[in-house]
Amino acid sequence: MRSCDRLVVTHTTTLRTDGKETLMNAKLRNRLTAIVAVLAAVLMTICLPTVARAADLRRPDSSRYLTYKIGGNAMRIGVIAQDDDSDYYCIEGNVQASYRIDGVREIESTDDARRLAWLIDHYRGSEDPLAYAAIGLLVHDRYDLDQATWASHRDSVIRTHAGIADRAGALWREAGDYAPAGAKITQHYVRGLRQGIVEALVVNASGSPIAGVPYKVTLNGPARFENGQDSVAGVSGTQSIAHRWQATGAGEITASISYGRHVLEQIISAQDFVRFGGMKQTNGGAVKFTARKDFTPSLGTRVSAKIVDAGQPVVDEVTSGVRGADSHWPQGLKLTATGWYFDKLSPAALKEGTAVHAGESAAAFLKRLQSAGHKPSAYGAASFTGPNQTVKVQGTTKSGGSEPYKTPVAAGFGTWVWAFERESLSAQAREYVLADAVTPFLEIPETNAHRARINVRSSVTEHSASVGSELSDTITVSGFPDDHGSFAGSKEFGFEPDRAHAQVSVWWSGDAHDAGNDERYRPSGSGVPEEDEHHRRVGVWNYPAANGTFRVGAGAPDAHGKPVNIRGESHGWYVFVWQFAGDDRVMPAASAYDDAWERTRVVEVARPKAPIVTTRVDRDTVKLNEPFRDTARVIGDVKKGSYVEFSAYEAIAKGVKPGANAKLLDGEHVRLDHGVSDQKVSSSQVRSGKPGFVYWKATVFSPKGDVLATHELGAEGEVVEVMEDGSQTPSVPGQPASDKSTPNQPARLADTGSSVVALAGVGVAAALVALLMVAAIRRRT
């Protein structure tokens, strides 16, 4: 029976007669020796190449195999043939061997094939014949082409070499631990979607890591490794090997790994072999993920105060952010945002919010707002180095300036628009920010109301009166929005509706039991007092919260159309106080409790010598920058320290209501002589550099600041027309066309203001005296 790796051993017999070899025997011995030599040469060709051509392989030395016997023949188990690169193991035990290679075929990559390829490669060059023999045993067990024949050979090998089965088992387990069977790759992000790490791991058949195996990781998509390439090579370890990557754009990435796998090859020959066929790059696992280099910053804003009073700064709280779950701010990257504040927006504008178009730049958006009539009034800037940072920004009058912006006196609404403008960012930032990020116009959190400041000018009709007299006040209000009272509020923006009414209250102070003590309770302080026996609120009435002149008392109606009558029923002080509680468009305002213009002194008997004042300007008409003045004649008794206060208002056009404009002369005090009952005093000279009508006012004050006598603005003789050269003199508003004095007759001073009231008081006193005299005469009779 022919078998693989068989060694044929023949025995020769020497014939002897009486201890001597015969010639015939010698010849026979020679012939037998020649035959044996020929047979040995034939047998030695088993498992070796035939001589059809030059040998491809060579026979290994004896350290590469062990022997065993089959049918008396010596057989080899282990390395059967060699070349310069590999060891060859027999897989046909019943076929005569040759050392010629007729073909090579890669054996399918199975766990058996990978383990055997690894063992053949790993133990090449070993000095342990048992290791080679054990590998031969494993090769035959799994790939012998005639397993039935090999079974009998295997029994002989096991019997002949104790321990070879155990060694084969140990080698098989070792190969299972170190033969590469696969490669795994995982990925995790380090900084957003912009940077991450892929980890490479080569494993055996049981999934355990293997060290020392070459591998290659490749990225397919917009990302690169730290070497600037889309692939990186390495050698596996017992732990995952990390490779950092960085996005170069945005999109899906596939990271794949390939590794070196041991190949087992079948050698086609007269008797087939197997050998280690080298390392073959084999695809392992792959992972897909998303990468993105750029990001979209965002801005969230909230005004610090929803309601801002006139003349106050505006402050916005600006918070940085990113838009989208795949958008990540690069660590430490500085971005500066620009803000624009728009004021004086009407209530109707609250319904005209403007969104930013897709891809629209900040400049284009601002231009679109400007075409709709909206121009910024204040500016701001805020810098951030990451998301979720908040900066408080106070508006300035100029972009990049330092002068604080103050809200206007007029009422309105204001809103901020903020943007990251790409072209204004650093070169580094522009690598990551691809477009402007702009907030809409009139977003609710970034919109506020700036409240108007109210101006109130008022004066009681009578500054002195007797008990039982009718009291009244004239109040002029300005500063309300023209449409005040029409705004119904906005729940969406959180603004309350306009408050419809202001209130006028009348307060009494004094000593009801002793008129001589009334002076002790002269009104003091700007706020109204607490009610007690010396302070009492007489009444309170509603009036429209709007601009205009309102008459309080003397039968004039209130806001509800009801007539209001107020009488000084007790001696003491009566004070009119106008008050507006404020709303979201107008600031609170009130007249002062201690305002001398707003109080009337009521006495039990009218004073017979109360002063009256008549006034007259020295010239009815002047040219530009010509000087002129006012003169007041005061008749009556005044105390030491009394004075006349002169005021002249800047020139205004015909038909414009005076009193709300600025002054040429503001409250000049000219002292009166308390020892003279009929005297004249004059103001300083003033000049007007613009044409129009200049209105004068003169008021007599007591030493303590009580108004003793005055007149209304525009009284006869108290208006001067300032004309440009060549202008004709029209009639002064409210005066006759001509009231000029003759050269020899002084100008008549106008009877104005409370002088009329004072004279009426004198008449009342005279009548009372007459009645008392009549009563006395009757008693005598």
3-state secondary structure at position 169: helix
Q: What percent of the chain has pLDDT over 70?
A: 85
Among the ranges given (304-318, 411-425, 633-647, 753-767), the one the predictor scored with the smallest mean pLDDT? 753-767
pLDDT band for position 714 (cuts 50, 70, 90) = confident
- Residues 654 and 631 grouped into a single domain: yes
Domain boundary among 410, 426, 451: 451
- Please provide residue 656's backbone torsions phi and psi, each rounded to the nearest 5 degrees: -85, 135
User: Helix count (H) and strand count (E) of the chain?
Assistant: 8, 44
3-state secondary structure at position 143: helix
- Residues 513 and 483 grouped into a single domain: yes
SS3 content of the chain, % helix, strand, coil (to 5): 20, 40, 45
The Cα-based distances of 203 to 178, 182, 206, 218 in angstroms read 8, 5, 8, 18
Query: How much is the pLDDT for 741?
Result: 39
Residue 43 has pLDDT above 80, yes or no: no
Residue 644 has pLDDT above 60, yes or no: yes
Query: How much is the pLDDT for 677?
Result: 87
Domain membership of residue 257 (yes or no) is no
Residue 766 has pLDDT above 90, yes or no: no
Residue 613 has pLDDT above 70, yes or no: yes
Determine the structural domain holding residue 711 and report its residue range: 612-762
Query: How much is the pLDDT for 576?
Result: 97
pLDDT digits (tens, 9 = 90+) for 660-685: 899 999 999 999 999 888 999 999 99
Query: How much is the pLDDT for 474?
Result: 96
Query: How much is the pLDDT for 780?
Result: 38
Query: How much is the pLDDT for 608?
Result: 54
- Residues 699 and 729 grouped into a single domain: yes
Query: How much is the pLDDT for 774?
Result: 36
Query: How much is the pLDDT for 38?
Result: 37
**Region 122-128 average pLDDT:** 94
- Residues 752 and 731 grouped into a single domain: yes
Domain boundary among 451, 478, 502: 451
- Domain CATH for 652: 2.60.40.2550
Domain membership of residue 222 (yes or no) is no
Residue 758 has pLDDT above 60, yes or no: no
Residue 754 has pLDDT above 70, yes or no: no
Residue 326 has pLDDT above 80, yes or no: yes
Question: What is the DSSP annotation of 602-642?
Answer: EESS--TT--EEEEEES-SEEETT--B-EEEEEES---TT-
pLDDT digits (tens, 9 = 90+) for 532-565: 999 999 999 999 999 999 999 999 999 999 999 9
Residue 191 has pLDDT above 90, yes or no: no
- Domain CATH for 439: 2.60.40.1930
> Which residues have CB under 8 Å from 226's CB, separation 6+?
243, 244, 245, 246
**Region 129-150 average pLDDT:** 96
- Residues 460 and 553 grouped into a single domain: yes
Query: How much is the pLDDT for 23?
Result: 31
Domain membership of residue 171 (yes or no) is yes
pLDDT digits (tens, 9 = 90+) for 60-103: 999 999 999 998 888 999 999 999 999 999 999 777 778 899 99
Query: How much is the pLDDT for 726?
Result: 63
Q: Give 228: exposed, middle or buried? Use CB within 10 Å, 0-12, 13-18, 19+.
A: exposed
Query: How much is the pLDDT for 96?
Result: 75
How far is it, in rounded angstroms, from Cα 281 to Cα 201?
A: 15
504 contacts 559 by C-beta, under 8 angstroms: no
The Cβ of residue 340 has, within 10 Å, a number of other Cβ atoms equal to 23
Domains of the chain: total:
4
Long-range contacts of 653-659 (CB under 8 A, 24+ apart): 653/692, 653/693, 654/692, 654/693, 654/730, 654/733, 655/733, 658/693, 658/695, 658/713, 658/714, 659/457, 659/476, 659/695, 659/713
Residue 324 has pLDDT above 70, yes or no: yes
Residue 569 has pLDDT above 80, yes or no: yes
Residue 35 has pLDDT above 90, yes or no: no
Q: What percent of the chain has pLDDT over 90?
A: 80
pLDDT digits (tens, 9 = 90+) for 262-292: 999 999 999 899 999 999 999 999 999 999 9
- Residues 459 and 435 grouped into a single domain: no
Query: How much is the pLDDT for 478?
Result: 96
- Residues 437 and 527 grouped into a single domain: no
- Residues 618 and 753 grouped into a single domain: yes
Domain membership of residue 80 (yes or no) is yes
- Residues 317 and 353 grouped into a single domain: yes
Q: Please, what's the b/e burial string for 138-166 (b: 16 or more CB within 10 A of its CB; e: otherwise)?
A: bbbbbbbbeeebbeebbeebeeebeebee
pLDDT digits (tens, 9 = 90+) for 380-410: 999 999 999 999 999 999 999 999 999 999 9
Query: How much is the pLDDT for 733?
Result: 52
Domain membership of residue 678 (yes or no) is yes
- Residues 370 and 407 grouped into a single domain: yes
β-pairing verdict for 437-438 and 390-394: unpaired
pLDDT, averaged across the chain: 87
Domain membership of residue 249 (yes or no) is no
Query: How much is the pLDDT for 276?
Result: 97
Domain membership of residue 568 (yes or no) is yes
- Domain CATH for 490: 2.60.40
Domain membership of residue 189 (yes or no) is no
- Residues 461 and 598 grouped into a single domain: yes
- Residues 421 and 502 grouped into a single domain: no
**Region 486-506 average pLDDT:** 97
Name the more confident of 757 and 233: 233
**Region 122-138 average pLDDT:** 96
Domain boundary among 451, 476, 501: 451
